[in-house]
Amino acid sequence: MSPAPERPATVAEVGEAGVLAVLSGPGDAYTGDPVGNGDDAAVLGPAAATVVTTDMLVEGTHFRLDLTTWRDIGRRAVAQNVSDVLAMGADCSRVLVALAVPGETTMEQIRELAAGIHGEAARSGAVVVGGDLTSAHLVVVSVTAIGTLPEGARPLRIDGAAPGDRVALTGEPGRSAAGLALLLAGHADGPLQQAHRVPVPPIGSGRAARLAGATSLTDVSDGLMRDLSGMARASGVAADLVVDALPVDPRLGEAAAILGRPDPGAQVMDWILDGGEDHGLLGTFPTDSDVPAGFTVIGTIRDGDPGEVSLDGHPRTPGGWDSARGAN
Amino acid sequence: MSPAPERPATVAEVGEAGVLAVLSGPGDAYTGDPVGNGDDAAVLGPAAATVVTTDMLVEGTHFRLDLTTWRDIGRRAVAQNVSDVLAMGADCSRVLVALAVPGETTMEQIRELAAGIHGEAARSGAVVVGGDLTSAHLVVVSVTAIGTLPEGARPLRIDGAAPGDRVALTGEPGRSAAGLALLLAGHADGPLQQAHRVPVPPIGSGRAARLAGATSLTDVSDGLMRDLSGMARASGVAADLVVDALPVDPRLGEAAAILGRPDPGAQVMDWILDGGEDHGLLGTFPTDSDVPAGFTVIGTIRDGDPGEVSLDGHPRTPGGWDSARGAN
C-alpha cells in the first residue's frame, strides 16, 4: 500500500503570520523605503507627488474560481490598479493588498495568488509593501496601487480634452468582453479568454502620454464609449470616433462566429465600443503633438454637448458597465 | 387613505456615479492636492515620507448588520486604519475606500455609511480622496489610510524596544472584547458594546509618542499580550507586565457579572490581556523620557527569550486573535 498523499495545509491551519509571509513575498525587494513590510503600516520615502488608487475584486462578481486560476486573480487585481496609476501619467512603484479568503483555502492557492500579485507588480516595476488578511466565506482581493510623479510633472486628469485634440487608444478594445462571452459559453482556453482573466496594462504608456503633452488620459475599464463620454463630459466637449480607425483584433470576428451570433459584425462592434475591462489607455493629444508609439488615433475632440460621442458623425448612446447596476 | 410611503432608492437603481457621489462626500474638503476625487487616481502633494496601510471589514467576519449600524461600519473601517497610521508616529491625512454592497442596498444606508466614513476621517484630520464601488452578495469595506511624516521624522517601528524601556498603553484594554460578549448575549446597548462597534483611536498620541522619543509603537488589534509579544519578538527582547498597573475599566467587572461568568476576575483579566480590536497604542519609552499624557506605564522591557511576556514575573502564553485561524 502506498502512503496516502499528504493533505495540503490550509490557511486556517497555518495562521495569519504564515500566510502574510507568503503574501509579502521575497524579502530582497528592497525599495529604500524607511519601513517596508511587517509593521503597522509602510513608510515610503520622499515624493514630489504621490498617485494613489484602490480597487476590489470580489468572487462571484468579478471572477469565478472555476473559470480562472489563483495566480490570474492576483495578476488581475494588481493590473487593474496599475492601470489607474498609468492613467494619471505615472508609473506604479508600490502595491498594498488586503485579502479575504475562506479558512479552508490551501497554502498552495495562497502561493499561487502571491505569485500572481508579485509577478504583476514586478512587471510594472512595483513592489508589495503591505498586506492585510481576514477570513470570509468568499474571496475578496482589494489592492491599493501607488505611484509617483517627478517634480513639476503634470498629472493627466480626465477633464483636459480640448476641441481639435486627437483621441488615441492603446491596444485593441473588446478583447476582454469577447473572452468573457467565450468563457461563459464553455470555451475555456484562448488568447481572448486570457485577456479577460488578466488585462495587460501598457506599462510606460502613461508616462509616454504625459511626456508627449496629452491633455487627458484615462483607462478603459467600463467600455470605450462610456469612458470616452465620461472624459468628454468632464472636459465640457464632445468627441467623434472614426469607425475605420478603430483597431480590431481579428479574433473578435472568429469569436462571434464560434458563438453563432446572427450578426457577427454588429457583435464585434458592440464588444469594441461597449466591452469593459480591457484597461487600455485612452488619451487626447493636441494636434501639434506626436502621439506616442503604442497609441492608435481613433477620432477627434470637438465642440458639442458635453459627453456626446458620435460614430462617423452619428451620435451613439454608450452601453458598457455600471458597477452598481451591472450591464446597461 | 394616506399615500403609500415611498420605497427607498437602491444602489442598483441609482447607479455607480450616484453612489460614488455620496461616498465622495462634500466637495469643499479641499486638500491642496493636485488631483482629489473623481479621476482614475488621486494625486497627493509633496511629502517627506508617506505612511500607508490597508485593512478590510467583511460582513459576517467583522460585523453583523443586525448588531451594528451602517454609520458605525463606516466609522470602524476608517478608525482601524487610522490607528495603524498613528502607530507609525504619524497623523492620518487621507483615506481611500473600496466598497462592495448588494444591489438592493438603499441609498439611505449608503448615506449613513458615508457619514460614518467622513465623520471618522474628519475626527482624524483626514479627507476622503478616492473610492471604488462594486456589487457583491455581502458588504465589504476596504480602507486605505495615508499619513505623512515631517522631514527628518523617524517612523516608529515595532522592532526598536530595548531592555530597560518602559511599556505604556493608551486607553483601557478589553473593552471591545467585553462589548462583543455582551452583544452576542443579546445586550444591544452600552458603552462597551459601542467600543466594540467603533474603536476610538487616540488621535495625536502617535505623534506625541514619537516626539517623546518612543523606541517602538504599535496598535493593539489582536490582543495586548499578542501584540506586545510580537513587538518584543521583533525587537529581540522580552517584556514584563505588572498586573496592578493595568488600567481597568470597571465596566468589565460588571459585564462579567451580567454574563454570569463563574470567575468574573479571571474573565476580566482574559479580556484585558487577550481581547482584540481596542486599537489603543502600545509603546516602549526609554527610562529617561517623559511618557506622554494619555499613556499608562504597565511594565518594562528586559533581556530574555525574544517575544516572551511575563505577568508579575510569570511567563504567560498569549491568546488573542489570529485573522486566519480565529480565536486561539
CATH label of the domain that carries residue A313:
3.90.650.10
Of the residues B149, B181, B213, the one at which a domain ends: B149
Mean pLDDT in residue range A24-28: 62
Average pLDDT over all residues of chain B: 91
Residues A184 and A140 occupy one common structural domain: no
At A30 the pLDDT is: 52
CA–CA separation, B173 and A2 (whole Å)? 53
At A24 the pLDDT is: 77
Q: Distances in Å between the alpha carbon of B282 and those of B55, B59, B155, B214, B301?
A: 19, 28, 15, 10, 13
Of the residues B90, B121, B149, the one at which a domain ends: B149
pLDDT in tens, A216-250: 999 999 999 999 999 999 999 999 999 999 999 99
At B316 the pLDDT is: 85
Instruction: Give the helix/strand (H/E) hosting A216.
Output: strand A216-219
Percentage of residues of chain B with pLDDT beyond 70: 93
Examine the pLDDT at A1 and tell me if it is beyond 50.
no
Percentage of residues of chain A with pLDDT beyond 70: 93
Please tell me if residue B88 touches chain A, with a CB cutoff of 8 Å: yes
Q: Is residue A34 part of a domain?
A: no
Mean pLDDT in residue range B291-303: 97
Annotated binding residue A72? no
> Residue B48 — very low, low, confident or very high, per pLDDT cuts 50/70/90?
confident
Which residues form the domain of A22? 13-27+46-149
> Residue A28 — very low, low, confident or very high, per pLDDT cuts 50/70/90?
very low
| H helix runs in A100-202, sequence order | 107-123, 175-184, 191-197
Task: Report the residue from B17, B100, B324 with minimal CB separation from A14.
Answer: B324
Examine the pLDDT at B209 and tell me if it is beyond 80.
yes
- Asked if B16's CB is within 8 angstroms of A52's CB, the reply is no
Residue among A8, A86, A9, A101 nearest A51 (CA): A86
Mean pLDDT in residue range B194-212: 94
Please tell me if residue B61 touches chain A, with a CB cutoff of 8 Å: yes
Residue among B78, B75, B222 nearest B147 (CA): B78
At B37 the pLDDT is: 75
Torsion of CA B297, B302, B306, B308, to 10 degrees: -60
Per-window interface: A 276-295 vs B, CB < 8 A: none
Examine the pLDDT at A4 and tell me if it is beyond 60.
no
Mean pLDDT in residue range B136-155: 93
Q: Is residue A4 part of a domain?
A: no
Kindly report the backbone phi and psi dihedral angles of residue A259, in degrees, each rounded to the nearest multiple of 5, phi listed first: -80, 0
Per-window interface: A 181-200 vs B, CB < 8 A: none
Average pLDDT over all residues of chain A: 91
Residues B140 and B217 occupy one common structural domain: no
Range of lowest pLDDT (B25-34, B41-50, B205-214): B25-34
Residues B97 and B177 occupy one common structural domain: no
The answer to whether B297 touches B173, Cβ cutoff 8 Å, is: no
What residues of chain B lie within 8 A of the CB of A131, using their CB? Answer: 54
> Residue B16 — very low, low, confident or very high, per pLDDT cuts 50/70/90?
confident
- Asked if B98's CB is within 8 angstroms of A142's CB, the reply is yes
Mean pLDDT in residue range A128-142: 91
Residues B105 and B239 occupy one common structural domain: no
Mean pLDDT in residue range A266-274: 96
> Residue B326 — very low, low, confident or very high, per pLDDT cuts 50/70/90?
low
> What residues does A308 pair with on adjacent strands?
none
pLDDT in tens, A292-301: 999 999 999 9
pLDDT in tens, B117-129: 999 999 999 988 8
Please report, for the domain that includes residue A96, its CATH number. Answer: 3.30.1330.10
Residues B96 and B136 occupy one common structural domain: yes
- Asked if A324's CB is within 8 angstroms of B12's CB, the reply is yes
CA–CA separation, B107 and B111 (whole Å)? 6
Q: Is residue A62 part of a domain?
A: yes
Per-window interface: B 97-116 vs A, CB < 8 A: 97-100, 103
Q: Is residue B154 part of a domain?
A: no
> Residue A328 — very low, low, confident or very high, per pLDDT cuts 50/70/90?
very low
Residues B170 and B315 occupy one common structural domain: yes
Residues A108 and A188 occupy one common structural domain: no
Please tell me if residue A155 touches chain B, with a CB cutoff of 8 Å: yes
Q: Is residue B159 part of a domain?
A: no
What residues of chain A lie within 8 A of the CB of B50, using their CB? Answer: 43-44, 47, 50, 146
Kindly report the backbone phi and psi dihedral angles of residue A221, in degrees, each rounded to the nearest multiple of 5, phi listed first: -110, -30
Q: Is residue B50 part of a domain?
A: yes
Mean pLDDT in residue range B161-177: 97
Q: Is residue B102 part of a domain?
A: yes
- Looking at per-residue confidence, does B266 or A319 come out higher? B266
> What residues does A96 pair with on adjacent strands?
A130, A144
Mean pLDDT in residue range A244-258: 97
Examine the pLDDT at B249 and tell me if it is beyond 70.
yes
Residues A137 and A192 occupy one common structural domain: no
DSSP string, A228-297: HHHHHHHHT-EEEE-GGGS---THHHHHHHHTT-SSHHHHHHHHHHH------EEEEE-TTSPPPTTEEE
> Residue A275 — very low, low, confident or very high, per pLDDT cuts 50/70/90?
very high
Examine the pLDDT at A325 and tell me if it is beyond 80.
no
Residues A132 and A217 occupy one common structural domain: no
Mean pLDDT in residue range B164-172: 98
Sign of the CA dihedral running B153, B85, B281, A132: negative
Residues A142 and A226 occupy one common structural domain: no
What residues of chain B lie within 8 A of the CB of A234, using their CB? Answer: 38
Nearest C-alpha of chain A: how many angstroms from B254?
31
- For the purposes of burial, counting CB atoms within 10 Å of the CB of B320, is it exposed (0-12), middle (13-18) or buried (19 or more)? buried
> Residue A34 — very low, low, confident or very high, per pLDDT cuts 50/70/90?
confident
Examine the pLDDT at B7 and tell me if it is beyond 60.
yes
Residues B69 and B118 occupy one common structural domain: yes
Decide the pairing of beta strands A216-219 and A295-302. Answer: unpaired
pLDDT in tens, A70-107: 999 999 999 999 999 999 999 999 999 999 999 999 99
> Residue A322 — very low, low, confident or very high, per pLDDT cuts 50/70/90?
low
- Structural domains of chain B, count: 2
CA–CA separation, A220 and A205 (whole Å)? 14
* Amino acid found at A262: P
CA–CA separation, B111 and B19 (whole Å)? 9
- Asked if A132's CB is within 8 angstroms of B34's CB, the reply is no
Please tell me if residue B317 touches chain A, with a CB cutoff of 8 Å: no
Mean pLDDT in residue range B10-27: 79
Non-local (6+) Cβ contacts of B265 within 8 A are: B253, B256
pLDDT in tens, B70-116: 999 999 999 999 999 999 999 999 999 999 999 999 999 999 999 99
Of the residues A123, A149, A175, the one at which a domain ends: A149
Residues A181 and A294 occupy one common structural domain: yes
What residues of chain A lie within 8 A of the CB of B150, using their CB? Answer: none
Please tell me if residue A32 touches chain B, with a CB cutoff of 8 Å: no
At B30 the pLDDT is: 52
Q: Is residue B157 part of a domain?
A: no
Mean pLDDT in residue range B198-222: 95
